[in-house]
Amino acid sequence: MERIEIGHGSGGKLTRDLIEGLFLKYFKSPELHSLQDATYLPGFEKIAMTTDSFVVQPIFFPGGDIGKLSVAGTVNDLTVSGSVPKFISVSFIIEEGFPISDLERIVSSISKTAESAGVKIVTGDTKVVEKGKCDGIYINTTGIGDVKRELSPKFVKPGDVVIVTGFIGDHGISISLSREEFEVETEIKSDCAPLNSLLVPLFDVPGLRFMRDPTRGGLATVLVELSETSGLGVRIYEDRIPVRDEVRFICDMLGYDPLYLANEGKAVVVVDRKDADRTLEILKSHPLGKNSQVIGEVTEEKGVVLVTSVGGMRRLELLEEDPLPRIC
């Protein structure tokens, strides 16, 4: 088989061939191999569930692909909720005529990413639609986690510190540059990565209040939502926010604001000030957190304020419209 045909979504023989010839080759968990429509999971006390559909364009980009992204995204959503990611479902909508070789690359990437994150893919689904009714492939992942620590904007207090776990904007810039032809040669790759090995150790920090991965809408959106939900304010300092020079340069060129660009391998972490050093130490001991930085603090008064490098104040708001749709 070279290309996906309508019959691959029929539930009949061609579907079976696709499952046995391709998906099961990469997805090794016995739960999935039972091929039941629903999957038994060993029980635990308190579980978390999250879902995301991925429609990123292009599906292959520097630093990742839609498969890696779809696992990392769900793993990260579970992790920042204070849970250890355990199980994941994967559901495909595929366009007729989609190359099997591309699908194999994606499935392999899903498998690798899940393995590296220690999550099991336990159930799945495939639908095929006609040409022109999809953009190659869309993927939904839904995840289940074992809740270890309840985190919430409601736990945040004035004086808490706000940490970001590394350079922001890489994913957004990488996607943007891979869509268009630019004169610029760049080394920027998407930061797409599962963050559970970085962040789960923080569950033992007593002063940990809240975490969120700044994906669609970027760092600014996470902070605005944190402010709205907590009823408190956030003040961040421009010169402390880690942004690569190259990203800053390309943002200037294309008219993007790095604060609103998507990240797929970063977290915003809010902790009690007295646990800030310990938190930074844990984060910096991990390769994905070595550029972690305290970028600001929680304040009494609602709203998010950016203190610019020249000492000005700028209020951050929610975006009206995404400058770069379909980044995840």
**Residue 106 CB, nearest approach to a second copy (Å):** 15
228 neighbors 176 (Cβ within 8 angstroms): no
**Residue 182 CB, nearest approach to a second copy (Å):** 22
**Residue 257 CB, nearest approach to a second copy (Å):** 12
| CB closer to a second copy out of 9 and 67 | 9
| Spatial separation of the C-alpha atoms in residues 122 and 136, rounded to whole Å | 24
| Spatial separation of the C-alpha atoms in residues 130 and 6, rounded to whole Å | 7
| CB closer to a second copy out of 75 and 283 | 75
| CB closer to a second copy out of 45 and 181 | 45
**Residue 190 CB, nearest approach to a second copy (Å):** 17
Which residues, at least 6 apart from 202, have a Cβ–Cβ distance to it below 8 Å? Answer: 208, 211, 269, 271, 279, 282, 283
**Residue 95 CB, nearest approach to a second copy (Å):** 9
| CB closer to a second copy out of 93 and 250 | 93
| CB closer to a second copy out of 170 and 280 | 170
Q: Half-sphere exposure (CA, 13 Å, Cβ side) for 127?
A: 9
**Residue 219 CB, nearest approach to a second copy (Å):** 12
Which residues, at least 6 apart from 249, have a Cβ–Cβ distance to it below 8 Å? Answer: none
| CB closer to a second copy out of 159 and 325 | 325
| CB closer to a second copy out of 26 and 92 | 92
| CB closer to a second copy out of 144 and 161 | 144
| Spatial separation of the C-alpha atoms in residues 88 and 272, rounded to whole Å | 32
59 neighbors 102 (Cβ within 8 angstroms): yes
- Residue 208's SS3 state is strand
Helix (H) or strand (E) holding 282, with range, is: helix 276-284
* Secondary structure (DSSP) of 111-177: HHHHHHHT-EEEEEEEEEE-TTSSSSEEEEEEEEEEE-----GGG--TT-EEEE-S--SHHHHHHHH
**Residue 186 CB, nearest approach to a second copy (Å):** 25
**Residue 282 CB, nearest approach to a second copy (Å):** 21
The distance from CA 44 to its chain's CA centroid, rounded to whole angstroms, is: 25
